[in-house]
Amino acid sequence: MNEQVKELTPQTLMSSSNRLIEIHITQARLRALRLVAFTGAVFPGEWSVQWNEAIVPDLLEFGFHARKVNEFCGLMDEEFGPIDVRIVKISEGDPGIWETNYRNALNALMHMQTFSIGHVHADHRRIFLAAESNLIATYIKVSTDRFPEVTISLFGLVDCFLNRVLQKVREKHPQLRF
């Protein structure tokens, strides 16, 4: 076989590097948008197990790709402001110890050993009238091998990525297409 092997030039390397970053951005954004939908939707308490099973893969994928965006785009030391934003008020049973730092939250997701997804009652939006309860997925409690257990606002985490991280990427890397 007489196949030609293309030589890697700085331009090819640059474009393949950019493409890799764009793939991570696209995948993180897709998962972030799905998580926004999950955290804004009311579901009947009887669906909790299935609801969690739908959220977890998106959360893990988001964490992986978002962290790669931070690494590849040189954002590891950026301060993006607090992520402890909640779209629902927790009137009782607040889990406490809310993580406020985006980078720390991503690190917790990457190093997590145990986790649980927290739901709050959506009494203000009762949709499933015959259900035992109307819930909204609001947070994840994460423990790692390195850090004490923290509570991460699901909405706050993805809101930061969609509105602050992507803006910073556009400023620092205008050549990227996403």
* Calpha distance 31→115 (Å, rounded): 18
3-state secondary structure of 101: coil
Query: Residue 174 corresponds to which tokens in the numbers above?
Result: 């205008």
* Cβ neighbours for 110, distance < 8 A, ≥ 6 positions apart: 63, 64, 67
* Calpha distance 78→81 (Å, rounded): 9
pLDDT of amino acid 65: 98
77-94 pLDDT per residue, tens: 999 999 998 878 787 788
pLDDT of amino acid 2: 52
17-51 pLDDT per residue, tens: 899 999 999 999 999 999 999 999 999 999 999 99
- Alpha helices in 41-153, H assignment, sequence order: 48-72, 102-111
Mean pLDDT of 156-174: 97
Higher pLDDT, 11 or 113: 113
pLDDT of amino acid 28: 98
92-150 pLDDT per residue, tens: 788 988 999 999 999 999 999 999 999 999 878 889 999 999 999 999 999 998 888 99
Whether the pLDDT of residue 13 is over 50: the answer is no
Query: Residue 111 corresponds to which tokens in the numbers above?
Result: 């190093």
Residue boundaries of the structural domains of the chain: 12-172
* Calpha distance 113→147 (Å, rounded): 10
Whether the pLDDT of residue 1 is over 70: the answer is no
Measure the N-to-C terminal CA separation of the chain; round to a whole number of Å. Answer: 39
Mean pLDDT of 59-79: 96
Dihedrals φ, ψ of 93, to 5°? 80, 25
